[in-house]
DNA sequence: CTTATTTATGCTCTGCAAGAGCATAAATAA
DNA sequence: TTATTTATGCTCTTGCAGAGCATAAATAAG
């Protein structure tokens, strides 16, 4: 399991699948590979990070990607089991909290540059961890997730990138002639831009990470779009790239992971998966803020967390906080056995 | 597309997939079929229903199942597109609102009786529709979803089935000797039973449909468990079956769909996908209650829906309501363009 | 050693939204 | 007519979230 050397694999069909269904059309099942992909998230020094790996055999500009590998039903009894196995091999990490995100199968979105990989369905997973338990190996590295999505970084206010580059280009895209709204996207382009990016008085919803990325992809503003052979081109090429691209469809999977985490900490106590065993309430708050972005009201945050019974004092205190020593707390695991299994249901306050 | 005749299909590999990755272990990708499955939900006469199909070629006790078919990357550009294509062929229905639920890949859970189907990963989808737009064909039929999950039907109070059959058998199961908690299920059996089924003062959470079904499956209390060759057996066989089973893992997919719908109507306006264009507020409430179960406070429901701007009056009224005529409303589609895109965030009140 | 600064923590005030119920309007049924 | 049923408007209460004031107890500066 320690061998993380990812080399080339030969695809073998095992046996013809038992006949099940016939159709009158020429619809046939062809071989599909299932890719298992992990967005492994942690918070280090108040910075939300994700574990990225570099494929030593990769020739395509040496992009980084998420840990991943094909699902092998012979070796893996479950999808998640297969994922854990691949992650351990590639990063040395034993995953803790893990949940499935989504399965992506759009034709052409799993390509590498100039690649014609036939058919891969990517199943994305989110894993949360605390780096104390993480012994990442050399070919993997923690990267700030804002490196891939700079427009999501609102810790210092609205990113200038939005007004300077993204909004004008999206507006131009929205105004291009287009067919009527498709069933998958019932809204018009301009409305989608407004809602996703909080323009014209609409609020910025920090959970819409995936929707924003998909919009930028459709508009041809991220590198992956050009790699996949989508339109855009000319106008865009000379302008600065938006965020660091990842291999295959991994940036889309990471966007899904960010959306999920940002939504989930509000109604399930998953934030504690990112914390060490003991922590101060302010450290907890900083971790929440690292994930969500904006600043929270300190006193109200304390009240919320304590009154919900999410934590209990350890009895110890922590000095060196720069002021009065802070009480240390630990996660009250018993809340999982109690009624509504609450999260840290916070709303972002003003800065 | 009108041919819904589902016959037998020959599996063909199209071409060897380009080499991508090799591992040092004997881990190889073998052929995996991807099944696309649709839980198509509607509400007819205040009864929540799901579209079931009967496989004419099926010899296995002739169980019903959900509309489904294999993903064919040659024919289907996207997963959802493939799903729509299969559903239309099998049921004559053109899907409207559709969302992906989950991908299931556990070995052995896609079997039929005595079957050794190699490897199928099932991707479940939820679709919401209103039967006025539904021209279901003969091999398909709307079934109350409570037929498959009678313990979820709280419209007449707590189902007697729970105390009479389910709880004693689950308690027996929870007390059997077992290994320590697995990473996938960190809680002990007794705790999981208590939380999922609202025992010992815990509240019944109507969203935990999937968790409850999985618990019953693990405990060997649903037919699918025995079909898949799980333990249980002896004690159970003579007792009444719990709910009507479905083919393959379709009941699990339906459970996932119920969980998702019950959760989602609380924060997204998806309930209107189940309504005709015009409706009274009480009809809307009845539809919500059909999905969620318990009764809601009528006046507060009105206030909630109206003040959230979810509906607008059509100007018409509807008589024959059995009392004073009711104003007709329609869904205000504009809310999709507004700030928090609200659902019908209701909490179940007392009966 | 004293004072300023910083962080931790307790507490209050206010407004809104949800839960619950009363009361009236306007049909149908007897 | 009168009783019944459904529709709809309004009020009262409670709890919680947002916001801010005030004090405690450390560290940093002089």
List pLDDT tens digits, range A126-158.
999 998 765 667 788 999 999 999 999 998 889
CB under 8 Å to A209, separation ≥6 — which residues? Answer: A149, A152, A255, A256, A258, A259, A262
CB contact under 8 A, B106 and A77: yes
A48-75 pLDDT, tens per residue? 999 999 876 655 568 999 999 999 999 9
Inform me whether the pLDDT recorded for B29 exceeds 60: no
The kind and range of the H/E element at A165 are: none
How far apart, in whole angstroms, are the C-alpha atoms of residue B32 and residue A40?
26
Q: How far is A320 from chain B (nearest CA, A)?
A: 35
- Which chain A residues are closer than 8 Å to B59 by Cβ? none
Q: What is the mean pLDDT of chain B?
A: 83
Closest CA to A50 of A131, A104, A124, A119: A131
Beta pairing, strands A120-128 & A33-44:
parallel
Q: Would you place residue A96 in the very low, low, confident or very high pLDDT band (cuts 50, 70, 90)?
A: very high
B279-319 pLDDT, tens per residue? 999 999 999 999 998 789 999 999 999 999 999 999 999 98
Q: Would you place residue B116 in the very low, low, confident or very high pLDDT band (cuts 50, 70, 90)?
A: low
The nucleotide whose C1' lies nearest the CA of A325 is D26
Beta pairing, strands A47-54 & A140-144:
antiparallel
pLDDT at A322: 84
Closest CA to A197 of A217, A211, A186, A176: A211
CB contact under 8 A, B9 and A15: no
The tokens for B66 are 């959900």
- Which chain B residues are closer than 8 Å to A89 by Cβ? 23
Q: What is the mean pLDDT of chain A?
A: 83
Q: Would you place residue B322 in the very low, low, confident or very high pLDDT band (cuts 50, 70, 90)?
A: confident
How far apart, in whole angstroms, are the C-alpha atoms of residue A132 and residue A44?
10
Tokens 């989504």 label which residue? A102
- Tell me the average pLDDT across B260-269: 93
DSSP β-bridge partners for residue B69:
B36
The tokens for B256 are 């996932």
CB under 8 Å to A49, separation ≥6 — which residues? Answer: A41, A42, A43, A142, A143, A144, A145
Neighbours of A156 (CB within 10 A): 8
Inform me whether the pLDDT recorded for A292 exceeds 60: yes
The upper half-sphere exposure of residue B349, i.e. CA atoms within 13 Å in the direction of its Cβ, equals 12
Q: Would you place residue B18 in the very low, low, confident or very high pLDDT band (cuts 50, 70, 90)?
A: very low
Tokens 């041809």 label which residue? A220
Tokens 């605390």 label which residue? A130
Q: Say which range, A275-284, B31-40, B181-190, has the weakest mean pLDDT.
A: B181-190
Inform me whether the pLDDT recorded for B186 exceeds 90: no
pLDDT at B24: 34
Inform me whether the pLDDT recorded for A13 exceeds 90: no
Closest partner residue to A10 among B19, B187, B339, by Cβ?
B19
Measured to protein CB atoms, the chain C nucleotides within 7 Å are 5-12, 18-23, 25-29
Closest partner residue to A70 among B3, B29, B79, by Cβ?
B29
- Tell me the average pLDDT across A20-26: 37
Inform me whether the pLDDT recorded for B239 exceeds 90: no
Inform me whether the pLDDT recorded for A125 exceeds 80: yes
pLDDT at B282: 96
Q: How far is the CA of B318 from the C1' of C29 (A)?
A: 18
The upper half-sphere exposure of residue A341, i.e. CA atoms within 13 Å in the direction of its Cβ, equals 16
How far apart, in whole angstroms, are the C-alpha atoms of residue A290 and residue A284?
10
pLDDT at A25: 35
pLDDT at B324: 92
How far apart, in whole angstroms, are the C-alpha atoms of residue A299 and residue A307?
12
A244-277 pLDDT, tens per residue? 999 999 999 999 999 999 999 998 999 999 999 9
pLDDT at A9: 30
**Phi, psi (degrees; rounded to nearest 5) at A6:** -100, 110
Q: Would you place residue A116 in the very low, low, confident or very high pLDDT band (cuts 50, 70, 90)?
A: low
CA A234 vs CA A172, A230, A237, A238: distances in Å: 13, 12, 6, 8
How far apart, in whole angstroms, are the C-alpha atoms of residue A26 and residue A41?
43
The kind and range of the H/E element at B140 are: strand B140-144
How far apart, in whole angstroms, are the C-alpha atoms of residue A118 and residue B18?
7
Inform me whether the pLDDT recorded for B236 exceeds 60: no
pLDDT at A327: 96
pLDDT at B180: 66
- Which chain B residues are closer than 8 Å to A85 by Cβ? 27
pLDDT at B140: 87
Closest partner residue to A107 among B15, B73, B205, by Cβ?
B73
Inform me whether the pLDDT recorded for A321 exceeds 60: yes
How far apart, in whole angstroms, are the C-alpha atoms of residue B218 and residue A7?
38
Q: How far is A63 from chain B (nearest CA, A)?
A: 15
Per-residue flag: A107 CB under 7 A of strand D? no
B126-176 pLDDT, tens per residue? 999 998 765 667 788 999 999 999 999 998 889 999 999 999 999 999 998
Per-residue flag: A339 CB under 7 A of strand D? no
pLDDT at B139: 81
**Residue ranges of the alpha helices (H) in chain B?**
79-91, 160-161, 167-175, 189-197, 209-218, 223-227, 234-237, 250-264, 281-292, 298-307
Strands, E, within A89-136: which ranges? Answer: 97-104, 120-128
Tokens 């996660």 label which residue? A331
Inform me whether the pLDDT recorded for B25 exceeds 80: no
pLDDT at B183: 60
The kind and range of the H/E element at A36 are: strand A33-44
How far apart, in whole angstroms, are the C-alpha atoms of residue B77 and residue A27?
12
B193-232 pLDDT, tens per residue? 999 999 988 889 999 999 999 999 999 999 999 888 765 5
Highest mean pLDDT out of A15-19, A204-208, B237-241: A204-208
B61-93 pLDDT, tens per residue? 689 999 999 999 999 999 999 999 999 999 999
Between residues A79 and A340, the one the model is more confident about: A79
pLDDT at B23: 37
Residues close to nucleic acid strand C (C-beta < 7 A): A 280-282, 298-299, 302-303, 317, 321-327; B 297, 299-300, 303-304, 307, 319-320, 322-325, 345-347, 349-350
* Residues A273, A345 contacting (CB under 8 angstroms): no
Neighbours of B266 (CB within 10 A): 17
The kind and range of the H/E element at A331 are: strand A326-331
pLDDT at B71: 95
| % of chain B at pLDDT higher than 90 | 62
**Residue ranges of the alpha helices (H) in chain A?**
79-91, 160-161, 167-175, 189-197, 209-218, 223-227, 234-237, 250-264, 281-292, 298-307
Q: Would you place residue A30 in the very low, low, confident or very high pLDDT band (cuts 50, 70, 90)?
A: low
How far apart, in whole angstroms, are the C-alpha atoms of residue B325 and residue B319?
4
Beta pairing, strands B140-144 & B47-54:
antiparallel
Inform me whether the pLDDT recorded for A28 exceeds 50: no
How far apart, in whole angstroms, are the C-alpha atoms of residue A159 and residue A151?
6
How far apart, in whole angstroms, are the C-alpha atoms of residue A268 and residue B127?
26
With 0-12 / 13-18 / 19 or more C-beta atoms within 10 angstroms meaning exposed / middle / buried, residue A338 is middle
pLDDT at A340: 59
CA A63 vs CA A58, A262, B333: distances in Å: 8, 26, 42
The tokens for B126 are 């939820």
Inform me whether the pLDDT recorded for A78 exceeds 60: yes
Q: What angle do CA A14, A15, A18 make, to 5 degrees?
A: 140
How far apart, in whole angstroms, are the C-alpha atoms of residue B196 and residue B95?
32
Residues in chain B: 351
């Amino acid at each position: 399991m320690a061998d993380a050397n990812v080399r080339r694999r030969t695809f073998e069909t095992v046996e013809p699948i038992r006949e099940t269904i016939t159709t009158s059309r020429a619809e046939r099942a062809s071989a599909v590979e299932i890719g298992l992909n992990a967005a492994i998230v942690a918070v280090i020094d108040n910075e939300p990070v994700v574990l990225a790996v570099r494929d030593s055999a990769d020739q395509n500009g040496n992009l980084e990607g998420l840990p991943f590998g094909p699902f092998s039903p012979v070796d893996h009894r479950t999808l998640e089991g297969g994922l854990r196995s691949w992650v351990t091999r590639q990063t040395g990490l034993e995953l803790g909290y893990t949940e499935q995100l989504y399965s992506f199968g759009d034709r052409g979105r799993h390509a590498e540059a100039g690649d014609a990989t036939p058919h891969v369905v990517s199943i994305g997973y989110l894993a949360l961890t605390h780096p104390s338990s993480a012994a990442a190996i050399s070919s993997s590295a923690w990267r700030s997730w804002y490196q891939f999505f700079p427009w999501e970084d609102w810790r210092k206010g609205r990113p200038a990138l939005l007004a300077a580059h993204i909004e004008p280009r999206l507006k131009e895209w929205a105004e291009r002639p287009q067919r009527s709204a498709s069933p998958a996207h019932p809204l018009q382009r301009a409305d989608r831009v407004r809602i996703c990016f909080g323009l014209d008085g609409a609020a910025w919803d920090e959970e819409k990470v995936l929707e924003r990325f998909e919009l930028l992809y459709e508009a041809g503003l991220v590198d992956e779009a050009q790699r996949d052979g989508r339109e855009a081109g000319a106008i865009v090429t000379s302008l600065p790239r938006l965020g660091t691209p990842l291999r295959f469809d991994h940036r889309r999977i990471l966007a899904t992971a960010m959306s999920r985490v940002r939504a989930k900490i509000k109604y399930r106590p998953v934030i504690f998966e990112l914390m060490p065993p003991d922590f101060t309430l302010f450290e907890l708050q900083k971790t929440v803020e690292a994930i969500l972005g904006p600043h929270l009201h300190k006193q109200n945050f304390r009240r919320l967390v304590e009154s919900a019974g999410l934590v209990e004092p350890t009895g110890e205190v922590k000095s060196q906080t720069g002021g009065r020593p802070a009480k240390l707390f630990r996660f009250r695991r018993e809340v999982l056995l109690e009624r509504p299994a609450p999260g840290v249901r916070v709303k972002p306050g003003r800065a």
